A and B are shown apart, each in its own frame.
Chain A
Amino acid sequence: MASNNPQNVDFDDRAEALSLLKTSLGSMELKTPIMIASGTFGYGNEYDRIEGFCMDAVAAIALKGITSKPRQGNPTPRIFETPCGMLNSIGLSNVGVEVLINEKLPALADKKAHVIVNVGGETPDDIIDAARALSYHKRLFSAIEINISCPNLQGTPIGQDFHATRRVVTVIRQMYRRNTVIVKLVPNLSLISEMAVVCEEAGADALTVANSFPGMAIDVFERKPILGANFGGLSGPAIKPLSLLLVHRVRRAVSLPIIASGGISCARDAVEFIIAGASAISVGTALFYDARVCSRINEGIVDFLFEDAKRRGLTCPLPLRDYIGTLTLNG
């Protein structure tokens, strides 16, 4: 679409324009800042069947959260749309580590994007077990994302407990020397910056900020929650301002690269997060209602870089990485 835009006459070469989008996450080089959030992309191959979705537009894909044993997941209904957002309570329904290693990961060998494995569980030991099983197959994926923040499990998420989080991250860090270790934080944490510091000290390479926010919806005639599991995680454009603030807070607390996640649906959202301090952005819910969203965000960011260069009187646009964390607060 960029080639149709008369504005791009000064920059014909699409490939060169897209090279402005390169960024990195620890040792992981990303061709664009876009990653796909865990839980919205299945085990990596489902979207191949959907025309319009372009793997070239995506730097990394996070697979569905995996646990040491297969899980059925939560009772239905599991999905409910709310204004500008959706509630989900899938409950970590997954095939288990064994099937992931034997069937799903080998099928992703020639994917043009980094593969991120997301590990979860009800207790710290569950997560460690899943990570351990995967640690014998490290070459099959680039990064491991530790999901300490699933809103759809019983009890409080591990990510609200500083000691448990420190332990999980430390142990998994020791298992993975080369792979990037990412921690996905709990959003509704008043001390999110302290938690980020704990993760940094425990050896994390990057942080995902953040998981979906806990929420609920009620059927007024039944006087019962709509979701089968009563509560769910809220995602979509509705939570974007909330996660933007979280990214800002975490940026102030730690120097780790941040993957912003929460309601990103257009290039402006992406750039806002990058200016607030994110090195990469995660797209999830937006993919459900527009399979082309990733290409569109990339093109929109390129447009922004040119426009910004023009407004600042520069001869050529700056690469996107120069924008990371450039926010200055008022007064």
Chain B
Amino acid sequence: MSANAEKAKLAGVCSVRRKTIRGAFCRLTLNMPMEFPHPAPGQFILISPQPHSYDSQQTRATKFSTRLSRFDMGVPQDRTMLLRPMSIFDYVKAPGRPNGLLTLLFKVVGRGTLSLSGVEPGDRLRFLGPTGNGFNPLECKKTLLVAGGVGISGVNLLCKSLLAGGHPPLFILGVNSKEESPVRLSLTEVVPHHRWAIPKGTEPLRLVVSRMFDIFVPSMVASIYPGDQGAFCGTACELVERLFRANPAYAEKTMLAACGPAPMLEALEETARHYSVRQFLVVLEEKMACGAGTCLGCATRIKDLTDDAREAAFHYERVCTEGPVFDGYRVIYRM
């Protein structure tokens, strides 16, 4: 997972094009500068909740022509200070357009995300990225993507690129309830010609496809809230377990990629081990300060490669540089 580690990073300024807030979720569409490289699936950007200070301060400098306006600039004012790492939910560069559009989808959980949800269309924000090691070209043709809630941001771009590559994945989204879903769900019965994506032997299960993407992805929604008509009642992991139980051969041929809360990933690891899933990748998130690999703040515990993988020693790897995509069998999820 070091193919794109050496690629040049980019820091720059983007502008907010659109902001949509739905419940606790915020979706920001950003106009990226021309030089912004196409992000690889799994990569992320760091984005500042502070509107770019040079603009406003330089305008002020010319307006009031004070020499010292540059002298004071740079002290954080009303918003949080550090850049926030965010998975790239979507990136579109239309042919003929110089600028790409990057979409972030996040849940407001603390001061930083609250600050970031306070930006307005037209605001210019500093960013850093795309950075991190994304998904390598995959060795498996069959892919099962599992997202827990807003974890959909971490795997959505991979889903899109798999579709474009002609290997549609099966997508499982776990949500607490339809109302608490990060994307709008309209649940419909599985379309017969998409049935092939669903492993054989799972017939008794009521399979559901949601139209949560512009493009049609064979997908299933697991909701722990029983009232959601059409969704599988239970956790995403229980749904995965059920698919594998019905068709163990499918598990052995599948690449499982997941992004979501740690307990979900941990449960998935157990399931993946039990059914010997061929490849299990996870997208991790961690609090970051620099995003460049210098501060070592985003470290996560990775099991050392030894014969006894279960209780082996561990070392720390940086989510920003060695990650955010890790071999799910080697991550230690428990705090």
Instruction: Show the binding face of A for B, using Cβ within 8 Å.
Output: 1, 5-7, 39-42, 46-47, 49-53, 64, 72-73, 75-81, 84-86, 88, 90, 93, 228, 236-237, 265-269, 271, 285-291, 293, 296-297, 299-300, 303-304, 306-307
Contact = CB atoms under 8 A, between A and B. Distances in A.
A326 to B, nearest CB: 17
Contacts of B8: 49, 51
B70 A42 contact: no
Interface of B: 8-12, 48, 50, 61-62, 65, 67-68, 70-76, 80-83, 111-112, 126, 128, 286-301, 315-316, 335
Contacts of A77: 286-287
B296 A93 contact: yes
A300 B72 CA distance: 8
Main SS class of interface, B: loop
Given A228-B335, A237-B76, A79 B9 contact: no
B299 A93 contact: yes
Contacts of A293: 74
Contact of B10 (A51, A75, A78, A287): A51
Contact of B82 (A90, A268, A288): A288
Given A266-B73, A289-B81, A47 B294 contact: yes
B75 A266 contact: yes
Contact of A78 (B61, B70, B299): B299
Contact of B293 (A46, A52, A53, A286): A46
A72 B315 CA distance: 7
B75 A237 contact: yes
B287 A289 contact: no
B295 A40 contact: yes
Best-surrounded residue of A1, A77, A304 (most CB of chain B within 10 A): A77
13 contacts: A5-B67, A51-B11, A79-B288, A81-B81, A88-B297, A237-B76, A265-B75, A271-B71, A288-B83, A288-B290, A289-B83, A300-B72, A303-B68
A259 to B, nearest CB: 19
Nearest to A293: B74
Contacts of B61: 5
A72 B314 CA distance: 9
Contacts of B287: 77-81
* 4 closest residue pairs by CB, A with B: A79-B297, A42-B294, A266-B74, A49-B9
A63 to B, nearest CB: 10
A5 B72 CA distance: 16
A289 B72 contact: no
Nearest to B50: A289
Contacts of B301: 76
A5 B68 CA distance: 11
B71 A268 contact: yes
Contact of B72 (A1, A73, A268): A268
Contact of B111 (A79, A81, A90): A81
A40 B297 CA distance: 10
A1 B70 contact: yes
A291 B286 contact: no
Given A46-B292, A72-B316, 9 more contacts: A49-B292, A72-B315, A76-B301, A80-B287, A88-B295, A237-B75, A265-B76, A288-B83, A300-B72
B81 A78 contact: no
A133 B10 CA distance: 37
Contacts of A300: 70-73
A90 B295 contact: yes
Nearest to A291: B11
A78 to B, nearest CB: 5
A78 B292 CA distance: 16
